[in-house]
Structure 1
Amino acid sequence: MEIKAYHPKYEKGWLQCRVLAFLSTAYYDNVLQEKENYKHPSIELVAIHQSKVVGLIDVEYETEKNQVCTGERGLGGMIWHLAVHPDYQRLQIGQHLLHRVENLAIEKGLTYLEAWTRDDNWVVDWYKKNDFRPVYAYLHVFMEGKSEMQHVKSEIKALRPVQTWAHYNGENEESIRQTFERVHTCTGLEKRLDDAKRL
Structure 2
Amino acid sequence: MIIRDYNHRDETGWVRCRALAFLQTAYFDNVLTKKEHYQNPSIELVAEHDGQIVGLIDVEYAEEQTVCSRGEGLGGMIWHIAVHPDFYRQGIGQQLLVAAENRAKKLGLNRLEAWTRNDLWVQKWYKRMQFNIVDSYYHVYFEEDELHPNYKSSIPDLYLVNTFAHYVGKNIEQFKDNKRIYECVCFEKFIFLPLNNS
Cα drift, residue 151 of structure 1: 4.2
Which whole-Å deviations, capped at 9, do the CAs of 1:15-65 have from their partners, x for residues lacking one?
000000011100000000010010100000000000000000000001x21
Cα drift, residue 115 of structure 1: 0.2
Match of 1:105 in 2: 104
Which whole-Å deviations, capped at 9, do the CAs of 1:85-131 have from their partners, x for residues lacking one?
00001000000000000010011110000000001000000000000
Cα drift, residue 66 of structure 1: 1.1
What is the TM-score with the length of structure 2 in the denominator?
0.94
AA aligned to 1:191 is K
AA aligned to 1:65 is E
Unaligned segments of structure 1, at least 5 residues:
none
Cα drift, residue 146 of structure 1: 3.3
CA contact (8 A) 1:56 1:82 kept: yes
**Following the alignment from structure 1 to structure 2, what is the Cα–Cα distance between the partners of residues 183 and 47?**
32
CA contact (8 A) 1:148 1:180 kept: no
Match of 1:65 in 2: 64
Map residues 102-141 of structure 1 onto 2, 5 A cutoff.
102-141=101-140
Range moving further from structure 2, 5-14 or 142-151? 142-151
What is the TM-score with the length of structure 1 in the denominator?
0.94
CA contact (8 A) 1:22 1:83 kept: yes
Match of 1:165 in 2: 164
Match of 2:37 in 1: 37
**Following the alignment from structure 1 to structure 2, what is the Cα–Cα distance between the partners of residues 34 and 99?**
25
Structure with greater helix percent: 1
Match of 1:187 in 2: 185
Q: Secondary structure at the match of 1:66?
A: coil
**Following the alignment from structure 1 to structure 2, what is the Cα–Cα distance between the partners of residues 71 and 115?**
11
**Following the alignment from structure 2 to structure 1, what is the Cα–Cα distance between the partners of residues 103 and 142?**
40
How large is the RMSD of aligned CA atoms in angstroms? 1.1
Match of 1:21 in 2: 21
**Following the alignment from structure 2 to structure 1, what is the Cα–Cα distance between the partners of residues 154 and 40?**
34
Cα drift, residue 149 of structure 1: 5.1
**Following the alignment from structure 2 to structure 1, what is the Cα–Cα distance between the partners of residues 2 and 123?**
26
Distance 1:138 1:40, change over 3 A: same
